[in-house]
Amino acid sequence: MKPFESFLREYLEEYIAYCQKLGYEGRNIRQRLSYLDRAVQSQQAQWESLTPSFFLTLRAHLAVAPRTANAIFTTLRGFFSYLQRIEYWEKNPLVDIPHLPELRFIPFVFSPEEIDLLLRTIQKGIRKAQRHFLNDLAEYIAILLLARCGLRISEPTRLLLTHVRVQEATIYIEKTKFKKDRLIPVPHSVIKEIENYLAVRSSLLEDTIPYLLISGKQKKLTCRRLYYPFNRAVKEIGLDQPKKVLANTTFGRPTPHSLRHAFAVNTLKRIKEQGKSPQHALPILAAYMGHRHYQDTAIYLKVLDAQQRRQLLHCAQSRSAL
């Protein structure tokens, strides 16, 4: 990423280093701080220029959604709070600037039956030619882990062979978001699929690649490669829907991350159907999914299930047609 160029560059770098020591991901912070750096540099601003009006003008020229603008300003607010703590700045100029109103976001949620159909469709599309078979099978296993274990899209592609413990039916997920490690139990049906993949891989290759899932030419499987089989299958089973903005609500389209949403929603729905408390299960589900706080897991629960989402979308479409 392009280095900072304004007179703030030294302080910006110090703040990023400070945040990284606390366990935050430096890349996102750097990207958000770059908006301030570019504005200061282009206007040749100095300390005395950094007033609330400067930041209101900056926000007015951001060509991003309200949610993104709020995330940028949260980071900028944190930066000036840091300058206050090191006694380099007297008053945070962003402290009285309120958040912009955000659109409500309803993610796409697959029902359990739709997930089963999606996985069968992807599995059916695995090409049998030797030069494609192992690659397609690896993509299927990655999407299977998203659907059955609620992994983030980057997590299956980063798994090492040593991270899969077949006898214990567990997977060790190392240093992903928030630099957290976790050891999770995996359904036996998924472990059997992984065992099958490993047997195929062993029969076709004599390799030393440490990663579990590999693509063509014996390279590590990348997240980008998962979109093609996913999107193809979604279209084939008739769930290909564009993002829709109706009134103050955005209804998301199906993406691989939707499988993580669906895992959380469907897991808590099953718990409720068993007569148990979903609220009590949230901390356990949060640990399983790699969230720092169970409130982060609760964010996924904007709808009860796929059926309720469809009803909300239908209602919003009916109102917009009036």
Q: How far is CA 57 from CA 185, 222, 261, in A?
A: 50, 39, 36
* pLDDT for position 26: 76
pLDDT digits (tens, 9 = 90+) for 187-228: 999 999 999 999 999 888 877 789 999 987 678 899 999 999
pLDDT tens string 141-189: 999 999 999 999 999 999 999 999 999 999 999 877 666 788 999 999 9
pLDDT at 304: 55
87: left (phi over 0), alpha (psi -120 to 50) or beta: left
Q: What pLDDT does residue 149 have?
A: 95
pLDDT at 300 over 70: no
Please report the pLDDT score of residue 303 as a whole number. Answer: 53
- Contact predicate 172/165, CB 8 Å: yes
Share of the chain above pLDDT 90, in %: 59
pLDDT digits (tens, 9 = 90+) for 61-111: 998 888 899 999 999 999 999 999 988 888 899 999 999 887 777 788 899
What pLDDT is stored for residue 296 in this prediction? 60
| Residue 298 reports pLDDT greater than 70 | no
Q: How confident is the model at residue 247 (pLDDT cuts 50, 70, 90)?
A: low
Q: Which residue has the higher pLDDT, 301 or 106?
A: 106
- 3-state SS of the chain is CCCCCCCCHHHHHHHHHHHHHCCCCHHHHHHHHHHHHHHHHHHCCCHHHCCHHHHHHHHHCCCCCHHHHHHHHHHHHHHHHHHHHCCCCCCCCCCCCCCCCCCEEECCCCCHHHHHHHHHHHHHCCCCCHHHHHHHHHHHHHHHHHHHHCCCCHHHHCCEHHHEECCCCEEEECCCHHHCCEEEECCHHHHHHHHHHHHHHHHHCCCCCCECCEEHHHEECCHHHHHHHHHHHHHHCCCCCCCEEECCEEECCCCCCHHHHHHHHHHHHHHHHCCCCHHHHHHHHHHHHCCCCHHHHHCCCCCCCHHHHHHHHHHHHHHHHC
Q: How many CA atoms lie within 13 A of 194 on its CB side?
A: 26
The residues that bridge with 246 in the sheet, in sequence order, are 249
Could you read off the pLDDT of 38-72 as tens digits, one per residue? 999 999 999 999 999 999 999 999 988 888 999 99
